[in-house]
Amino acid sequence: MSVRILALVGSLRAGSHNRQLAEAAVKLAPEGSDVVLYEGLAEIPFYNEDIDVEGSVPAAATRLREAVGSADALLLFTPEYNGTIPAVLKNAIDWLSRPYGAAALGDKPVAVIGTAFGQYGGVWAQDEARKALGIAGGKVIEDIKLSIPGSVTRFAEVSPADDAEVVGQLTEVVVALNGHATAPAAV
Residues 6+ apart with CB under 8 A from 109: 72, 73, 74, 138, 139, 141, 177, 180, 181
DSSP characters for 22-61?
A: HHHHHHHPPTTEEEEE---GGGSPPP-TTT-STTTS-HHH
Residue 132 resides in a domain: yes
How far is C-alpha 183 from the chain's CA centre? 20
Confidence band of 32 (pLDDT split at 50, 70, 90): confident
Q: How far apart are CA 30 and CA 110, in angstroms?
A: 17
- In the prediction, which pLDDT does 98 show? 93
Helix (H) or strand (E) holding 74: strand 73-77
Q: Which residues pair with 5 in a beta bridge?
A: 35, 73
Q: How far apart are CA 147 and CA 28, in angstroms?
A: 18
Structural domain harbouring 116: 3-182
Number of domains in the chain: 1
Q: Report yes or no: 34 and 181 within 8 Å, Cβ to Cβ.
A: no
Residue 123 resides in a domain: yes
Q: What is the pLDDT of residues 149-160, one digit of tens each?
A: 999 999 999 999
Beta strands at 33-37 and 3-9: parallel, antiparallel or unpaired? parallel
Confidence band of 185 (pLDDT split at 50, 70, 90): low
Residue 117 resides in a domain: yes
Write the DSSP symbol of residue 187.
-
CA-to-CA dists, residue 175 to 30, 50, 143, angstroms: 7, 40, 13
* Domain containing residue 23: CATH number: 3.40.50.360
Nearest to 75 by CA among 183, 172, 187: 172
Q: What is the pLDDT of residues 118-132, one digit of tens each?
A: 998 999 999 999 999
Residue 187 resides in a domain: no
Residue 66 resides in a domain: yes
Q: Is the pLDDT of residue 142 over 80?
A: yes
